[in-house]
Every structure is written in C-alpha cells, then in structure tokens.
C-alpha cells in the first residue's frame, strides 16, 4: 500500500479522501490547516482569545475517513451529535474535540484513538494538524491593504482586490507528524479548495518547506472547479505553478496536474444555468483549452484531464465527484 498524504481542508479534502478510499487506498495521512478564524470555529477561537487552534478541517476530514463498518448506527448517531449547533452558534462536535485535545494535552493521535474506542471503529487513516500552535493567516492585496485572519479571506472573496502575499502571525512550527508524513510520502495530493486558506496556508509553518524539499513523493494537484474572485480569477495553469513555487520554494512543486476534461467555453454552453449562477458571485468555471495546458506539459508536468465533476440537483452547485476521481486515482497510482 503506497504512502498517500493529502494536504488541504474545507469541503475539498473530504472529497479527496472519499475518492481514495473508494479506490482501495487506506492508511491515509491527511494534513489539515489549523488557522481558520471564520464561522463557528472563529467564534470559539475568539472566545478563547486565539489561544486554541482551529479544528474544523481536522474534524471534517476525520469523519470522512470512516470507511465501511458494522456500526452504522453508532456513526449516524455520532455525526448527528457533532453537527448540532446551539443558540450561541457553538458547534457540539468542535466542543467535544477541543475537550479531548485538552484531556490529552494536544496529542491529536490519542484524540483519534479515543474516538475510535467510543465508536468501535478504526479510521482509515490519520488526520494531522499542520501545527498545534495557535496562529492566523495574514494577507496583502494588490492595493497594499493588509488583512488579519482567514475570515477576512472569506469576506473578500468577491473582491477584485486580489491577494499578492500570504504569511502567518505569529510564525509557528509545523508538527513533527506533518513533516514526517511529507518526507516519507509516495504521493502528495494537493486538494481542491480555497487556494490560500486551505492549501497554501499549510506550507507556511516552519519546517514544511524543508520537508517538501526532502520528499521524493509524486506531487499531484487537483485544480479547483470554480474561481474565487480575489484568489483565482482568470487563473492559468502557469499561475498555479507560480504560486506553488513561491510558497514551497520548489523548482518543480507539481508533477501531475488533474483538471476537468471540458473547457470553460464548452461548460458555459452546456450548463448555462450553472454558469450564470456562479457569475452572480463573480466566479467562473475553471478549466483550460488543450493549447493552454500544453504550456504546463513543456515544464515536464503531466497533465491529466478527465470527467471528474458532478452538479448537485437542487442547488446547481459544482462538485468533484468522488466515484469519478476514484477511477482516476486507481489508474494513476497503480501505474506509478
């Protein structure tokens, strides 16, 4: 079984883990950012005076690592429990996870083991926070404005004032587990999601760049399906590579580039209602022509285009399809 490490968070990382499990790969190591300051996580971190890490991506990804089990009733009861939010917008699942972190002195491995005993299951991998030291992302936009906190990244998502730089305040060390997972990986998968909030932020803790430098893993990028106006508007494959180079310090930060097999123009013609709905959010479908992708291939990067998308029936939202991605992963990883 190859050593597979995912890097990401939000809703993208759980989809990738589901796809890998469907493809038959287990014992995954999932590195998740722990600097979020938005939503329910932001409320808790604010209440705690920023003295705790964000655990939303950790818990969400951990739940996605529940494979087939004979204890479906336990799982259903647990997921219903952890999804409950009280009148003060405090999520019960987060509260439980924070309590366990305190009980085990920030040993997230023991927290995971405790949950396994509680549910009588075994997770198909380990979720690793990129750091266990509290910190926040800071970013500068093209007009020179500096923002503190990932919640500001979300608030600025429809702004034309795009991001030009990202850093942490304060600087914090990466967890030894995250660095070791990267160093020993056979495959590193950069998950789709907020480019700066969910992916690039994972390269910022001290030690990650060095671990990437010492890793012989095949590095795979699953590109986003839809843009953020302030992050990836009119992004080209070269821009993706440029951003990854900047924050990893690697000359070749990506080996395999996975993207949908339909161009933006063809998508908008085939799914006009979906395209118009995203246009109202100043977003567009993110894909490229054969000629645009050729520029990436000249850099010795393998480009893989495939039918990997699905559209939710009720809301007409675009998603990566785990079943379709599973087929891609199965073939790709087996052939390497």
Question: Quick check: 129 and 175 in contact, CB under 8 A?
Answer: yes
Q: Count CB-CB contacts under 10 A for residue 189.
A: 27
Separation between Cα atoms, residue 41 and residue 35, nearest integer Å? 10
Task: Return the SS3 of 268.
Answer: helix
Separation between Cα atoms, residue 234 and residue 311, nearest integer Å? 22
208's enclosing H/E stretch is helix 208-213
Task: Domain count for the chain, please give it.
Answer: 1
Q: CA angle at residue 139 from 221 to 128, to 5 degrees? A: 50
CATH of the domain at 243: 3.40.50.10680
DSSP summary character for residue 311: E
What is the largest distance, in Å, between two alpha-carbon atoms of the chain? Answer: 55
Task: Return the SS3 of 304.
Answer: strand
* pLDDT at res. 87: 80
Tens digit of each residue's pLDDT, the chain (336 residues) = 899 999 999 889 999 999 999 999 999 999 999 999 988 888 888 888 888 999 999 999 999 998 766 667 777 888 888 888 888 777 888 889 999 999 999 999 999 999 999 888 899 999 999 999 999 999 999 999 999 999 999 899 999 999 999 999 999 999 999 999 999 999 999 999 999 999 999 999 999 999 999 999 999 999 999 999 999 999 999 999 999 999 999 999 999 999 999 999 999 999 999 999 999 999 999 999 999 998 888 778 999 999 999 998 788 899 999 999 999 999 999 887
DSSP for 48-98 reads: TTT-S---HHHHHHHHHT--S-S-HHHHHHHHHHHT-B-TTS-BHHHHHHH
Task: Return the SS3 of 174.
Answer: coil
Separation between Cα atoms, residue 286 and residue 309, nearest integer Å? 12
Task: Return the SS3 of 221.
Answer: strand
Whether residue 170 is preceded by a cis peptide bond, meaning omega within 30 degrees of 0, is: yes
Query: What sign does the CA torsion over 25, 320, 78, 201 have?
Result: positive
Nearest-CA neighbor of 326 among 4, 3, 24, 98? 24
Structural domain including 10 reads 4-335
* pTM for this prediction: 0.95
């Amino acid at each position: 079984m190859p050593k597979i490490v995912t890097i990401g968070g939000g809703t993208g990382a759980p989809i990738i883990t589901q796809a890998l499990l469907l493809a038959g790969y287990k014992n995954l190591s999932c590195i998740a950012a722990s600097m979020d300051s938005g939503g329910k996580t932001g409320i808790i971190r604010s209440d705690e005076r920023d003295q705790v890490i964000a655990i939303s991506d950790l818990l969400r990804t951990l739940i996605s690592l529940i494979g087939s089990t004979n204890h479906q009733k336990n799982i259903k009861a647990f997921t219903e429990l952890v999804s409950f939010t009280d009148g003060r917008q405090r999520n019960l699942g987060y509260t439980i996870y924070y309590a366990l972190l305190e009980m085990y002195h920030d040993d997230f491995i023991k927290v995971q083991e405790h949950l396994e005993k509680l549910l009588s299951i075994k997770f198909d991998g380990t979720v690793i926070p990129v750091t266990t030291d509290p910190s926040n992302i800071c970013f500068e936009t093209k007009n020179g404005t500096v923002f503190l906190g990932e919640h500001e990244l979300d608030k600025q998502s429809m702004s034309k004032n795009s991001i030009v730089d990202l850093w942490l305040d304060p600087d914090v060390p990466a967890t030894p587990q995250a660095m070791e997972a990267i160093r020993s990986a056979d495959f590193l998968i950069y998950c789709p999601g907020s480019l700066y909030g969910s992916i690039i932020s994972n390269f910022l803790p001290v030690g990650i760049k060095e671990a990437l430098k010492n890793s012989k893993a095949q590095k795979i990028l699953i590109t986003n399906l839809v843009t953020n106006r302030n992050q990836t508007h009119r992004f080209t494959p070269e821009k993706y590579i440029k951003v990854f180079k900047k924050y990893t310090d690697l000359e070749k930060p990506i080996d395999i580039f996975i993207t949908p097999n339909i161009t933006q123009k063809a998508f908008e013609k085939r799914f006009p209602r979906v395209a118009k709905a995203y246009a109202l959010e100043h977003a567009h479908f993110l894909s490229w022509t054969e000629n645009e992708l050729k520029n990436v291939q000249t850099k010795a990067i393998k480009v893989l285009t495939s039918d990997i998308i699905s559209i939710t029936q009720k809301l007409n939202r675009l998603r990566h399809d785990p079943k379709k991605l599973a087929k891609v992963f199965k073939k790709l990883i087996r052939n390497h």
